[in-house]
């Protein structure tokens, strides 16, 4: 039986699917469970402090003062909590004077420190919280770039103006500007929690919208075929194994698996179901989630050949990756999602099945139409890329 007198309230930070950070007050209070989400740590703290204050007083609701002008109970509780905290530090202090000081210095630093050292603590905090090392390394790089580009050495030098200058740098893409804003938001939220900043000023900076600009980058069928043929004959690694990179390029070019996901497909081939024509149960882009992707018969044949040869998509070599792209004459036009764009465009031209693409690519219809589909390929129709078979790839005897 639950202890009706126990108070186990705590604040847990979490992310919505959009990437926005929020804070949840959760726990038990005198046998009653509470759970409520707030956009900032400060708001969550005020709510939790209010619950605890009522619990100490043994009240389910705060009695109202007959002549108060404060209409909301939560505002009254917050004022009471603020006064109680002030009395602890300054027994004779004035709450009005404290508010006036805050208004005059809102957004300024409460506690100053070496900015790089505090960033290191933030990175350490995220690692301990369970964030992936790759994700945390990106945060470190972006925020370190912010400190360097804006010549910031102290927390007191962090301002909204400098943050906006860094975020809205026109020399970087809209996606990078959006990612910079998200990284700044998360760090500022941490600085508020650790009482370095009085509030998260990044909430007042508009989040850049990412829209596709320009032509979708794709390869022709002949370019993809040349890429796969080159991969099938290129030596890889110290042992110079011919064709060891073929499964990586085949999976990326002929299915909805992302490049980073392909590198995580284990060498034991447990993820491959020849009978069901599936790549299944592999770790997705989103943390702690798995994906299943359907594959067409030609790719099943290619992957079965690679499995028998002892190759694996995870046997990735940067040097071989670069050599293969150079020999296939696609190095200069390459970007990270070019094979995904090419596959999505050819599959839609052939099947006209947006629902299948959404499920197997892991993207929404809006994103696929806006950023993935090359209309020139779509309008051409036909099987195109999906007609490439193992017989086309392997060198003729």
Where does a domain end: 105, 125, 157? 105
255 and 384 fall within a common domain:
yes
Of the listed ranges 214-228, 329-343, 345-359, 366-380, the one predicted with least confidence? 366-380
338 and 249 fall within a common domain:
yes
Nearest to 262 by CA among 116, 362, 155, 147: 362
- Bin 151: left if φ > 0, else alpha if -120 < ψ < 50, else beta: left
Which CATH number do you get for residue 170? 1.10.150.130
* Contacts for 10 with CB less than 8 Å, ≥ 6 apart: 25, 26, 27, 48
Element (DSSP H or E) covering residue 296:
none
Q: In which band, very low, low, confident or very high, does the pLDDT at 67 lie, cut at 50, 70 and 90?
A: low
257 and 237 fall within a common domain:
yes
What SS3 state is found at 114?
A: strand
Where does a domain end: 53, 85, 105? 105
In this predicted model, what pLDDT tens digit does every residue of 152-183 receive, in sequence order?
A: 999 888 888 899 999 988 777 777 888 899 99
366 and 242 fall within a common domain:
yes
Six-digit token string for 351: 């099947």
Residue ranges of alpha helices (H) inside the chain are 41-57, 73-89, 95-105, 115-129, 133-149, 160-167, 174-193, 221-233, 246-254, 259-263, 297-309, 318-327, 338-351, 354-361, 365-367, 375-380, 390-393
Q: Say what the alpha-carbon torsion angle 275, 278, 280, 285 is, to the nearest 10 degrees.
A: 170
173 and 194 fall within a common domain:
yes
Give the whole-angstrom CA distance, residue 348 versus residue 373: 8
Average pLDDT over residues 114-122: 94
The alpha carbon dihedral of 134, 136, 139, 141 has a sign of: negative
Whether 43 is covered by a domain: the verdict is yes
Average pLDDT over residues 47-56: 74
In this predicted model, what pLDDT tens digit does every residue of 27-36 receive, in sequence order?
A: 887 777 778 8
Whether 211 is covered by a domain: the verdict is no
Six-digit token string for 170: 């026109």
What's the pLDDT at 197? 86
The CB-side HSE value for 54 (13 A sphere, CA atoms) comes to 18
Percent of the chain with pLDDT over 70: 83
In this predicted model, what pLDDT tens digit does every residue of 259-304 receive, in sequence order?
A: 888 888 889 999 999 999 889 876 665 555 678 899 999 999 999 9
250 and 373 fall within a common domain:
yes
Query: pLDDT higher for 50 or 165?
Result: 165
Quote the Cα angle for 282-130-252, to 5°. 25
The answer to whether residues 230 and 324 touch, using CB atoms and an 8 Å cutoff, is yes
Query: pLDDT higher for 85 or 274?
Result: 274
Which CATH number do you get for residue 275? 1.10.443.10
Residue 290 pairs in a beta bridge with: 283
| 47 has a pLDDT exceeding 70 | yes
Percent of the chain with pLDDT over 90: 32
In Å, how far are 57, 99, 120, 249 from 324, measured between CA atoms? Answer: 72, 65, 38, 10
Give the whole-angstrom CA distance, residue 40 versus residue 44: 6
In this predicted model, what pLDDT tens digit does every residue of 234-265 receive, in sequence order?
A: 999 888 999 999 999 999 999 988 888 888 88
Give the whole-angstrom CA distance, residue 301 versus residue 307: 10
Q: In which band, very low, low, confident or very high, does the pLDDT at 333 lie, cut at 50, 70 and 90?
A: confident
333 and 231 fall within a common domain:
yes
What's the pLDDT at 313? 92
* Contacts for 164 with CB less than 8 Å, ≥ 6 apart: 205
Give the other-Cβ count within 10 Å of 258's Cβ. 22
> What global pTM score does this model have?
0.51
Rg of the chain over CA atoms, in angstroms?
28
Average pLDDT over residues 33-45: 80
Give the domain extent around 87: 10-105
| 189 has a pLDDT exceeding 80 | yes
316 and 258 fall within a common domain:
yes
120 and 191 fall within a common domain:
yes
Q: In which band, very low, low, confident or very high, does the pLDDT at 61 lie, cut at 50, 70 and 90?
A: very low
295 and 236 fall within a common domain:
yes
187 and 226 fall within a common domain:
no
Mean pLDDT for all residues in the chain: 82
Task: Look at the chain and report how many structural domains it folds into.
Answer: 3
Whether 189 is covered by a domain: the verdict is yes
Whether 154 is covered by a domain: the verdict is yes
* Contacts for 315 with CB less than 8 Å, ≥ 6 apart: 236, 237, 244, 245, 247, 248, 267
DSSP line for 227-283: HHHHHHH-EETTTTEETTTHHHHHHHHHSS--HHHHHTS-TT-TTEETTTTEEEEEE
* Contacts for 28 with CB less than 8 Å, ≥ 6 apart: 2, 6, 7, 8, 9, 34
What's the pLDDT at 73? 64
Whether 357 is covered by a domain: the verdict is yes
The answer to whether residues 331 and 325 touch, using CB atoms and an 8 Å cutoff, is yes
Where does a domain end: 105, 132, 158? 105
Whether 88 is covered by a domain: the verdict is yes
Give the whole-angstrom CA distance, residue 206 versus residue 168: 10
Whether 344 is covered by a domain: the verdict is yes
Whether 110 is covered by a domain: the verdict is no
What's the pLDDT at 1? 42
DSSP line for 349-372: HHH--HHHHHHHHT--HHHIIIII
370 and 247 fall within a common domain:
yes
């Amino acid at each position: 039986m639950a202890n009706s007198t126990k108070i186990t309230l705590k604040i847990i930070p979490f992310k919505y699917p959009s990437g926005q950070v929020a804070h949840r007050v959760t726990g038990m209070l005198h046998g009653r469970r509470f759970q409520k989400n707030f956009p900032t740590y400060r708001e969550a703290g005020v709510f939790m402090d209010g619950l605890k204050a009522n619990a100490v007083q043994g009240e389910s609701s705060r009695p109202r003062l007959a002549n108060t002008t404060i209409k909301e109970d939560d505002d009254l509780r917050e004022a009471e909590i603020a006064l109680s905290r002030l009395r602890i530090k300054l027994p004779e202090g004035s709450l009005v004077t404290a508010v006036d000081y805050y208004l005059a210095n809102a957004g300024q630093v409460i506690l100053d420190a070496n900015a790089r050292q505090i960033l290191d603590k933030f990175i350490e905090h995220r690692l301990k919280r369970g964030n992936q090392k790759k994700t945390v390394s990106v945060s470190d790089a972006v925020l370190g770039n912010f400190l360097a580009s804006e010549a910031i050495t102290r927390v007191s030098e962090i301002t909204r103006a400098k943050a906006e200058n860094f975020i809205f740098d026109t020399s970087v893409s809209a996606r990078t500007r959006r990612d910079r804003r998200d990284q700044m938001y998360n760090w500022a939220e941490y600085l508020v929690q650790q009482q370095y900043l009085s509030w998260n000023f990044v909430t007042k900076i508009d989040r850049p919208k990412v829209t596709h600009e320009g032509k979708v980058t794709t390869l022709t069928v002949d370019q993809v075929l040349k890429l796969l043929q080159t991969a099938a004959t290129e030596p890889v690694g110290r042992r110079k194994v011919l064709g060891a990179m073929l499964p990586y390029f085949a999976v990326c070019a002929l299915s909805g698996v992302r490049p980073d996901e392909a590198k995580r497909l284990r060498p034991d081939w447990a993820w491959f179901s020849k009978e069901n024509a599936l790549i299944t149960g592999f770790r997705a882009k989103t943390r702690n989630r798995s994906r299943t992707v359907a594959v067409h018969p030609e790719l099943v044949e290619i992957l079965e050949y690679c499995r028998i040869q002892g190759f694996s998509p995870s046997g990735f070599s940067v040097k071989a990756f670069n050599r293969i792209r150079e020999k296939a004459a696609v190095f200069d036009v390459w970007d990270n999602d070019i094979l995904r764009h090419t596959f999505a465009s050819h599959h839609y031209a052939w099947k006209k099945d947006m629902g299948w693409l959404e499920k197997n690519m892991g993207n929404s219809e809006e994103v696929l139409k806006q950023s993935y589909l090359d209309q020139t390929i779509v309008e051409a129709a036909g099987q195109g890329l999906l007609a490439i078979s193992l017989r086309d790839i392997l060198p003729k005897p």
